Amino acid sequence: MDITIIGAGNMARGIATRALAGGHAVRLLTPERDEAQGLASELGASTQAGIVGDRLDTDLVVLAITYGAVHGVLDTYGDQLDGKIVVDITNPVDFDTFQPLQLQAGSAAQEIANAAPGARVVKAFNTTFAGTLVEGHVAGRTLDVLIASDDEQAKQAVSKLATDGGMHAVDAGPLGRAHELEAMGYMHMALQETLGTQYGSALTVSA
């Protein structure tokens, strides 16, 4: 599968690393080409780079950007997102207070679905930290990727991306569960100070 990742920061690096490990092709898009090109060069030959605004030529697009940047990207792409699998990984947090943002739609993922009604929105990867995605495991344990969507085929595609990259895909239910996933993502961040794990921990579901 070919995937587009918008962003070239920590999570773009982590998700791209796992996607490439799973044999997928990655294209990175950033506002300035240099940023995408820099990460693409580090990640290797099959990684392409471009700028936000370039035509989307893949069925799956990961928004690896801060919550505050999401609506600008949605505005840029408009109806080009129709039919695309759009993966929302955000944890909407007020950076001044480090409190979660209370969103009227219930979640960032639902806001995206409302703003881009033709997109097949999937919430995923927001509960896994970037460095652990680069490593691919924590303390020798497979990473769980919790995935929510109202579109079963889209959920399957993101699940395959996760499992191909050596992770365990966990079906977290419909997109409405993004509210709970974003709360989990926030809680996981908030625990870092208590645990002293420096964003190197993983949330796992044991059975």
Ligand X SMILES: NC(=O)c1ccc[n+]([C@@H]2O[C@H](COP(=O)([O-])OP(=O)(O)OC[C@H]3O[C@@H](n4cnc5c(N)ncnc54)[C@H](OP(=O)(O)O)[C@@H]3O)[C@@H](O)[C@H]2O)c1
Provide, rounded to whole angstroms, the least separation between the CB of residue 158 and ligand X.
14
Q: Is residue 62 a contact residue for ligand X (CB under 6 A)?
A: no
Q: Is residue 130 a contact residue for ligand X (CB under 6 A)?
A: yes
Q: Is residue 52 a contact residue for ligand X (CB under 6 A)?
A: yes
Return the number of the residue (72 or 152) whose C-beta is nearest ligand X.
72
E strands, 31-140, in order:
47-51, 60-63, 85-88, 93-94, 99-100, 120-123, 137-138
Q: Which stretch of DSSP H or E encloses residue 26? A: strand 25-30
Site string for ligand X, 83-102 (x = CB under 6 A): ------xxx-----------
Give the residue closest to ligand X by C-beta.
9
The set of residues, in sequence order, having a beta carbon less than 8 Å from that of 108 and lying 6+ positions away, is: 67, 70, 88, 90, 91, 92, 178, 182
Provide, rounded to whole angstroms, the least separation between the CB of residue 46 and ligand X.
20
Q: Is residue 9 a contact residue for ligand X (CB under 6 A)?
A: yes
Q: Is residue 7 a contact residue for ligand X (CB under 6 A)?
A: yes
Q: Is residue 66 a contact residue for ligand X (CB under 6 A)?
A: yes
Q: Which residues pair with 88 in a beta bridge?
A: 63, 123
Determine the Cα angle at 63 with ends 59 and 67, to 5°: 150
Q: Which residues pair with 60 in a beta bridge?
A: 3, 85
Q: Is residue 69 a contact residue for ligand X (CB under 6 A)?
A: yes
